[in-house]
Structure 1
Amino acid sequence: MKKSLLFLIFISQIGLSQKLKIDTKTTYQTIHSFGASDCWSMQMIGENYPIEKREKIASLLFSKQLDKAGNPKGIGLSMWRFNIGAGSTEQGIESKITNEWRRAECFLENEKYNWNKQRGQQWFLEAAKRNDVDFTLGFLNSAPVSMTKNGLAIGSGKLGEWNFDKNKIDDFTSFLTKVSAKLKFDYISPFNEPQWDWGPKSKSGFGSQEGTPINNDDLAWAVRKLDAKMTDRKLNTKVVITEAAQIDYMYKSKTNRSEAKQDNQIEDFFSKSSKNYVGNLNSAEKIICGHSYFTTSPSNELISKRQDLLAKVQQQKINYWQSEYCILGDNAGEIKGGGQDLGMKTALYVAKVIHADLTYANASAWHWWLSVSANDYKDGLIYISNNGVKGENDSNKFDGEVYDSKLLWAFGNFSRFVRPQMQRIKIETDNKDLMISAYKSSKQIVVVIVNSAQNQRIDLPNLTRNQVIDTYTTSKDKNLAHSKIKGTSIEIPAEAVVTLVTGLR
């Protein structure tokens, strides 16, 4: 029997020594991926921006290479999410979506497929594949406009009312399988945030983006139809559901979406006694996907909601993916979504959310929302602006400066080193200022430390025979900066995220 490895790390604080225990035998979830999406700017950037700027963005997002000093050139995403458009771009202003950036082209138009559509997004999809990103996923906000009830990619505004002509389900499943096969997606996510109404946002009748609600009954029906089509065509792409708008809707019943039959989704879709059970389908992964929006503050709710989610996930023996997040709202006064921030405040807040999703909800995947944003908002890993002009407008449509953020690199403290198939392992500390998680592969142990407080000194025992540990630090003046520890001590800077990487004995 292979012996468990038990490591002790001592944390010194003003003369006080505390023990940090890592037990490699006690394991939790297996990591699937860290990812981000191509909405909405990548269509503009991929089609219009100079090649050197496109390559710079691709390197920041996808590269796993190191520079001569050992610093990562990028954050090495392991999942790339591609928005499959519904055709609002071709409709122009008649789409009832005011903002051109929030519209999307469709591969199917006038009953013919045109694979030259979404060229800008396809450029980045190919860049992801060139950089050996492990997984790709296609997701929809709406069915193609030729298949919707109202001929638009926005809903009616009524909760639970699926904007889809059910007589066209065969056309819809054919569309999904053909796009998945052509673009070679590993996963397809047919429905996004079904709990929102996705209808007009004013009396003008205009909406903000493509989208449609759908209730649990219709969603299960459509997934069964899609599974039959994918099985018939022997497609390897797997279906994932449900991209819940908030994690509450996955595990809670009797919510404000109960009447519309849009909550309690874990039990509804994965309990064998449920009429909507889809856990036995060939193409459907035993995964529930949800978004961490509006559930991250205050800290007691950040933890308790994820503990409740985990209980339901474990009950049905499925995996959980946190499949979309950025900072929205005012978060109980802790941080506001408005206002671009390239610094550590946003980076540390998001790192706390990632840590909570991984350690309290056992998320096996964690995906950010906008990989690149033009907005004056906390929604991007990378930002673009033209001569300081922010926003989804003509100024930024054809060219602009490219700015990385501390959030990008702090996300990289996880995504670059916590790789697919690693297992989260047990780690304990009495130090309440540090958020620490640990992961192992057959050859490595990775420890990610989030420190929102003052400097902390950690004394390390001999983890390996030669005691060489690689560290990567993101702080106010460092971006995944590499160093090596050959002794038994490291100082964690104030307000920093630090990753330790070491070999197993």
Structure 2
Amino acid sequence: MIQNFFCFLFSVSLISGSLLAQTPPKELEIELHPEQAFQTIHSFGASGCWFAEPIGAHWPDQKKEHIAELLFSTEKTENGSPKGLGLSAWRFNIGAGTAEQGDSSGIIEPNHRVESFLGENGQYDWSKQPGYQYFLKKASDYKVPNLIAFVNSPPVFFNKNQLGFLQTKGHTTNLKKEHYKDFGHFLATIVQHFDNEGYHFNYLSPINEPQWDWHGEFGHAKQEGTPYSNEEMFEVITEVNKALKKNKSATKIVIPEAAMLTYLTDENGPTSDQINTFWNNKSKLYLGNLSHLATYVAGHSYFTDGSNEQIISVREKLKKSSSAYNLDYWQSEYSLLGNGYLEGEESRSTLDCGLFLAKIIHHDLVVGNASAWHYWNSFEPGDWKKDTRYYLIALEPNEDWSDGSYAVTGNFYALGHYSRFVRPGMQRIGLTRSDQATAIEAAEGVMISAYQHPATKETVLVVINYTEDYYTLKINGESAEWYNQYITNRSNRFKYRGDVQSSFIQLMPRSIYTLVSD
């Protein structure tokens, strides 16, 4: 019985984070430098693509309301843990009408077909996309400050092949040139309608990942999508700007939603070097003078995560290029699409996936200087326990998608350590480390970033211990002596762990901490 009692004490001490590890903890001190202010945080967000429709339109109220709470709530449970991610941006997909086509759309997955508000008869039907609209309205109810509308393909009847994707390989848009103006009017009309309904889209993204050809064999295509050359983008965005200006809209256009960050600064082909192409006033495709173009450059972090060296070098180059034109970088879409997250393993646990996601968020913010960071996708069918690479919430639907179960993943917790606490208007601030770790060394060890609200001086630190080692962390140079502590690791998930002194913070192995000044 005494032996069992000591075994119990040992297990409790490990869970509570005491220092009963086999080796002494490593020591790390940091000093905060609020006088060094970098980017102002705009938002952390996610997309509601594809499966917002069946969930929002058909699932029982209690379940879909709880999913909305998981995504948008900034409240806490009785034990102090967050109820939700507190997303500060929500991305709404404007459909192309492939759902109305059914199997004739050529898209294999029914839930990847999306309705269009505009019919081929020229009439608008605002009852379309009811599931998508459910989550849009929930985001508004939760006072999510940034609503963003994005487009994968123009309406199918504006397209050359009357489909939502290309059947042949190439790099010319599927949108007929005679419908460029119609496409602009279509988007401006949708924005105006939702404005009138009380749901203002702060931003409109008319083009998505123009570098991919979105080619698919009929009956096996994966989703709506179309490529664009830079020249075609210039013409289309000009028409969208005209339509918004005519409607006296307050909505801003965000471009170019590059499929990889490298397309923003270099690469070859008809849709490359997009920062210089669209924001250099000597370029023949200069868009920087458009009245409704936002001063943000949006790109996707896919396939730039193969190694720590690649993660850092790509984002260093992006920061230099965007800064040259006084542009804020938005990381507007990412999931663990490539194989970089495996890091040499055959498969990864949901915690491993979350830790890798936290690493990418850290580097986009600290190296790339991103002011916004948005995830793809909020929810998809899958197993929440392993290789949760594509989604925040894993779905297990019934056969007709009228109901189902769901569970949050490691990615959910990783994003939440930023989205719930690093709020819009905060600024990333400087810090120095006692170990003087290089960016590469930090990426393999302990990654730390700090944020402060310029008015309230509330300070937030996000700390990622990527190692199997214990650390003790001491924070210097900040007036706050106590921090509220939230942790995700092998035994805790996004959990409030009470107050902790800045002079002695213990970091457990393979863990993410958020520390909020008390």
TM-score where L is the length of structure 2: 0.88
Tell me how far apart the structure 2 counterparts of residues 94 and 396 of structure 1 sit (CA, whole Å): 20
> Which residue, out of 331, 335, 338, partners 1:329?
338
Displacement of 1:163: 0.5
Look up the match of 2:20.
none
Q: How does 1:463-474 map to 2 (within 5 A)?
A: 463-464=478-479, 467-474=481-488
Residue-by-residue CA offset, 1:262-300 (whole Å, 9 max, x unaligned): 000000000010011111111000211111111111111
> Which residue, out of 107, 110, 126, partners 2:137?
126
Alpha carbons 2:31, 2:476 under 8 Å: kept? no
Other structure's SS at 2:336 match? coil
Residue-by-residue CA offset, 1:361-419 (whole Å, 9 max, x unaligned): 11111111010111455201001114xxxxxxx62612111101122012100000111
Displacement of 1:342: 6.5
- Taking a change above 3 Å as real, the CA distance of residues 178 and 132 of structure 1, as seen in their structure-2 partners, is same
Look up the match of 2:50.
40
Q: Which amino acid aligns with 1:262?
A: T
> Which residue, out of 29, 35, 49, partners 1:19?
29
Residue-by-residue CA offset, 1:19-43 (whole Å, 9 max, x unaligned): 3121101111111111100111110
Displacement of 1:356: 0.8
Alpha carbons 2:474, 2:502 under 8 Å: kept? no
Look up the match of 1:420.
424
Q: Which amino acid aligns with 2:75?
A: Q
Look up the match of 1:6.
none
Other structure's SS at 1:93 match? helix
- Taking a change above 3 Å as real, the CA distance of residues 381 and 502 of structure 1, as seen in their structure-2 partners, is same
Q: Which amino acid aligns with 1:464?
A: S
Displacement of 1:311: 1.2
Displacement of 1:220: 1.0
Determine if the alignment matches structure 1 residue 175 to structure 2 residue 186: yes
Tell me how far apart the structure 2 counterparts of residues 299 and 47 of structure 1 sit (CA, whole Å): 42
- Taking a change above 3 Å as real, the CA distance of residues 396 and 436 of structure 1, as seen in their structure-2 partners, is farther
Look up the match of 2:412.
408
- Taking a change above 3 Å as real, the CA distance of residues 335 and 57 of structure 1, as seen in their structure-2 partners, is farther
Count of paired positions: 474
Other structure's SS at 2:472 match? strand
Displacement of 1:463: 3.5
Q: CA RMSD in A?
A: 1.9
Alpha carbons 2:304, 2:314 under 8 Å: kept? yes
> Which residue, out of 53, 70, 78, partners 1:60?
70
Tell me how far apart the structure 1 counterparts of residues 45 and 502 of structure 2 sit (CA, whole Å): 34
Other structure's SS at 1:108 match? coil
- Taking a change above 3 Å as real, the CA distance of residues 54 and 251 of structure 1, as seen in their structure-2 partners, is same
Alpha carbons 1:22, 1:427 under 8 Å: kept? yes
Displacement of 1:345: 0.4
Other structure's SS at 1:171 match? helix
Alpha carbons 1:75, 1:412 under 8 Å: kept? yes
Look up the match of 2:103.
93
Q: Which amino acid aligns with 2:50?
A: W
Tell me how far apart the structure 2 counterparts of residues 396 and 265 of structure 1 sit (CA, whole Å): 43
Determine if the alignment matches structure 1 residue 307 to structure 2 residue 316: yes
Unaligned 5+ residue runs, structure 1? Answer: 1-12, 387-393
Q: Which amino acid aligns with 1:185?
A: F
Determine if the alignment matches structure 1 residue 491 to structure 2 residue 503: no
Look up the match of 1:9.
none
Displacement of 1:228: 1.4
Look up the match of 2:351.
344
Displacement of 1:335: 6.4
Look up the match of 2:278.
269
Displacement of 1:158: 3.0
Look up the match of 2:5.
none
Look up the match of 1:198.
214
Q: Which amino acid aligns with 1:190?
A: P
> Which residue, out of 482, 488, 501, partners 2:516?
501
Unaligned 5+ residue runs, structure 2? Answer: 1-22, 195-199
Q: Which amino acid aligns with 1:225?
A: E
Displacement of 1:464: 3.3
Other structure's SS at 1:459 match? strand
Determine if the alignment matches structure 1 residue 436 to structure 2 residue 451: no
Displacement of 1:227: 1.0
Other structure's SS at 2:376 match? strand
Displacement of 1:153: 0.7
Tell me how far apart the structure 2 counterparts of residues 314 and 126 of structure 1 sit (CA, whole Å): 35
Other structure's SS at 2:179 match? helix
> Which residue, out of 441, 446, 457, partners 2:472?
457
Tell me how far apart the structure 2 counterparts of residues 158 and 115 of structure 1 sit (CA, whole Å): 34
> Which residue, out of 361, 370, 382, partners 1:363?
370
Look up the match of 2:152.
141
Residue-by-residue CA offset, 1:463-500 (whole Å, 9 max, x unaligned): 436x3311111112222211112573111121111011
> Which residue, out of 273, 286, 289, partners 2:298?
289
Alpha carbons 1:321, 1:365 under 8 Å: kept? yes
Alpha carbons 2:26, 2:472 under 8 Å: kept? no
> Which residue, out of 260, 264, 276, partners 1:246?
260
Tell me how far apart the structure 1 counterparts of residues 176 and 26 of structure 2 sit (CA, whole Å): 66
Q: Which amino acid aligns with 1:439?
A: Y
Residue-by-residue CA offset, 1:170-213 (whole Å, 9 max, x unaligned): 2211110111122221110000010111112x4x5642110000
> Which residue, out of 224, 247, 251, partners 1:210?
224
Tell me how far apart the structure 1 counterparts of residues 428 and 234 of structure 2 sit (CA, whole Å): 32
Other structure's SS at 1:113 match? coil
Tell me how far apart the structure 1 counterparts of residues 482 and 212 of structure 2 sit (CA, whole Å): 50
Tell me how far apart the structure 2 counterparts of residues 499 and 332 of structure 1 sit (CA, whole Å): 22
- Taking a change above 3 Å as real, the CA distance of residues 62 and 485 of structure 1, as seen in their structure-2 partners, is same
